[in-house]
């Protein structure tokens, strides 16, 4: 079997596929992104295969046998159409599907883009390329595989944007107009599929293709709450995105003495492969200056429309409802106790909140050194669990209960919270000072 060297890691798997397929007299072809990436010299993680079978059951039986031979898990995705997945132990996926149409060429012509409409015959090593995908790949052009490609699946409008964002490609003549023509048909597509393509665009960087995203109407379809970001609103959103990207590319070294910790925090997935980094960008698109971004119900609606997890929606809500508070504290030289209250309110989203506020400010004109230094100190405190973020009270709830004859409950919790704020402010350093202050509060509130 003639395979490129970059597929050496897949060689045993592919040889087993060919062996099992030949035993059943089933021609099998590698298709889609795996072929495209191989021709680009980029190793892939997952493989898509098309099987020329007389019935869907033959494909499912082949996939089941392969899963057994390869020590993977067989997952039937669509029994009626003969589509199955094999999840391998090393985390790779093999997707097998019965050929669609009367021939492999017809199957390829109905795919999304010419770059993905190539097939590699695993037995002979021959490449089938009925739509000129190899030539387009060499010229770095993204072209629909056929005249009805976008109409057949409107999600391909978003996939076109994602491929332009993630690969060194330029749109073929007429593609932007075709995207604009079919963008409104995204309403026929499940929100989960739209969300996945949209977040893939955010991960790859929307900025190089911002104009296409906005002018084609894709933004208005994906996030109708933005109103399409016309004029100054769009310029503001783009500026915030640019600030976020610049921070990330600089590894956050100007923002904190703990840049690695901040980067790891922002890159840790919240749900599936969606990270705080993408939630920050989503917030930038929603903070257009005219939308009711401070209204939690409105933000909840955004989360539902994109089928976000509760965790993601809470992060988004924190960013859009609290982002003015760090700005106010920094400008007014807020006390450590005030910062502590903000950190308590923001919870695990506190670093995201500080980064977002800075991106909003830097995107519209920048700030002086003293202002930026406040944010740097607070980010350092968060990742070093300093006095502001994790103030260590010299007394416990049990100490308070014993000293003042209190029963465990909300009152003790409130006293501990106020003492933590006092510790952050430097008002309390010893057990004696803590008990004296608690006594004063109890006397005042009684």
CATH, residue 197: 1.10.110
- Length in residues, the chain: 446
Same domain, yes or no: 188 and 287: no
- Spatial separation of the C-alpha atoms in residues 159 and 166, rounded to whole Å: 10
Residues 356, 421: one domain? no
* pLDDT at site 446: 66
User: What end-to-end distance do the CA atoms of the chain give, in Å?
Assistant: 85
pLDDT at res. 366: 66
Closest CA to 101 of 152, 144, 138: 152
Give residues with Cβ within 8 angstroms of 159, minimum separation 6: 112, 113, 197
Q: Which residues contact 62 (CB under 8 A, 6 or more apart)?
A: 20, 21, 24, 26, 51, 53, 96
d(CA 107, CA 182): 22
412 CB-near residues (< 8 Å, 6+ apart): 397, 400, 401, 406
Alpha carbon distance 122, 90 (integer Å): 22
Residues 159, 102 share a domain: no
CB 261 within 8 Å of CB 355: no
Among residues 67, 57, 68, 71, the alpha carbon closest in space to that of 94 is found at 67
Q: Say if residue 124 is in the same domain as residue 176.
A: no
User: What pLDDT sits at residue 7?
Assistant: 63
- Does residue 133 sit in the same domain as residue 151? no
**Residue 268, in any domain of the structure:** yes
Say what the pLDDT of residue 41 is: 84
Residue by residue, pLDDT tens for the chain (446 residues) are 555 665 666 778 888 999 999 999 999 999 999 899 888 888 777 889 999 999 999 999 999 999 999 999 999 999 999 999 999 887 788 999 999 999 999 999 999 999 999 999 988 889 999 999 999 999 999 999 999 999 999 999 999 999 999 999 999 999 999 999 999 999 999 999 999 999 999 999 999 999 999 999 999 999 998 888 878 889 999 999 999 999 999 999 999 999 999 999 999 999 989 999 999 999 999 985 445 555 778 899 999 999 999 999 999 999 999 999 999 999 998 889 999 999 999 999 999 999 999 999 987 776 678 888 989 999 999 999 888 888 888 888 898 888 888 888 888 888 888 888 888 888 888 898 888 888 888 888 76
Last residue of a domain, one of 119, 138, 157: 138
CA angle 50, 55, 56 (to 5 degrees): 60
Give 275-333 as a DSSP string. -HHHHHHHHHHH--SSS-TT-HHHHHHHHHHTT--HHHHHHHHHHHHHTHHHHHHHHTT
What's residue 12's pLDDT? 84
Residue 161 lies in a domain: yes
CB 142 within 8 A of CB 113: yes
pLDDT at 270: 96
Q: Rounded CA gap, 236 and 24, in Å?
A: 60
Three-state DSSP at 113 gives strand
Residue 232 in any domain: the answer is no
The residue segments making up the domain with residue 170 are: 147-222
The 3-state DSSP class for residue 212 equals helix
**Would you say residue 392 lies in a domain?**
no
**Counted domains in the chain:** 4
Residues 338, 221: Cα–Cα separation, whole Å: 40
Same domain, 258 and 348: yes
Same domain, 259 and 360: yes
Residue 390 resides in a domain: no
Q: Yes or no: say if 140 and 170 are a contact pair by the CB < 8 Å rule.
A: yes
What CA–CA distance (Å, rounded) separates 109 from 385? 57
10 Å Cβ neighbour count for 430?
A: 10
Last residue of a domain, which of 138, 170, 192? 138
The structure tokens 């393509």 sit at 197
- Same domain for 115 and 158: no
The pLDDT assigned to 5 comes to: 62
User: Which pair of tokens denotes residue 328?
Assistant: 């106010």
pLDDT at 191: 95
Does one domain contain both 379 and 278?
Answer: yes
Any idea what the Cα angle at residue 78 is, between residues 75 and 81, rounded to 5°?
130
Cα–Cα nearest to 168, from 196, 137, 199: 137
* Beta carbons within 10 angstroms of residue 207's beta carbon: 14
Q: Are residues 213 and 242 in the same domain?
A: no
Run of H or E residues at 86: strand 83-87
Q: Residue 227: inside a domain, yes or no?
A: no
């Amino acid at each position: 079997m003639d395979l490129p060297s970059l597929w050496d890691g897949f060689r045993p798997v592919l040889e087993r596929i060919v062996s099992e397929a030949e035993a059943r007299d089933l021609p099998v072809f590698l298709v889609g992104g795996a072929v495209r990436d191989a021709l680009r010299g980029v190793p892939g993680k997952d493989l898509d295969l098309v099987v020329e079978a007389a019935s869907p059951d033959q494909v499912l039986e082949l996939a089941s046998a392969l899963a057994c031979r390869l020590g993977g898990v067989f997952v039937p995705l669509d029994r009626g159409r003969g589509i199955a997945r094999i999840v391998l132990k090393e985390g790779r996926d093999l997707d097998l599907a019965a050929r669609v149409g009367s021939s492999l060429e017809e199957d390829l012509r109905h795919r999304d883009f010419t770059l993905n409409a190539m097939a590699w015959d695993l037995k002979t090593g021959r490449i089938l390329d009925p739509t000129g995908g190899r030539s387009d790949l060499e010229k770095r052009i993204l072209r629909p595989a056929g005249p009805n490609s976008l109409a057949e699946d409107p999600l391909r409008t978003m996939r076109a944007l994602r491929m332009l964002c993630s690969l060194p490609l330029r749109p073929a003549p007429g593609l932007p107009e075709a995207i604009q023509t079919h963008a409104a048909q995204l309403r026929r597509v499940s929100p989960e599929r739209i969300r996945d393509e949209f977040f893939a665009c955010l991960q790859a960087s929307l900025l190089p293709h911002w104009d296409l995203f906005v002018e084609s109407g894709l933004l208005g379809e994906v996030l109708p709450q933005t109103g399409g970001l016309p004029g100054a609103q769009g310029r503001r959103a783009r500026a915030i995105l640019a600030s976020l990207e610049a921070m990330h590319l600089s590894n956050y070294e100007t923002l904190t003495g703990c840049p690695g910790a901040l980067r790891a925090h922002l890159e840790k997935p919240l749900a599936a492969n969606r990270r705080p980094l993408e939630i920050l960008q989503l917030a930038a698109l929603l903070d257009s200056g005219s939308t009711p971004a401070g209204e939690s119900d409105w933000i909840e609606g955004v989360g539902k429309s994109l089928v976000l997890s509760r965790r993601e929606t809470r992060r988004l809500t924190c960013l859009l409802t609290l982002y003015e508070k760090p700005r106010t504290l920094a400008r007014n030289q807020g006390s450590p106790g005030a910062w502590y209250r903000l950190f308590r309110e923001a919870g695990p989203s506190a670093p995201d909140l500080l980064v977002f506020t800075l991106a909003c400010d830097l995107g519209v004109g920048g700030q002086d050194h003293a202002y930026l230094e406040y944010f740097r100190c607070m980010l350092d405190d968060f990742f070093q669990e300093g006095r502001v973020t994790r103030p260590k009270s010299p007394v416990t709830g049990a100490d308070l209960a014993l000293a003042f004859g209190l029963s465990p409950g909300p009152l003790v919790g409130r006293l501990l919270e106020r003492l933590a704020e006092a510790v952050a402010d430097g008002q309390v350093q010893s057990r004696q000072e803590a008990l004296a202050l608690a006594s004063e509060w109890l006397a005042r509130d009684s």
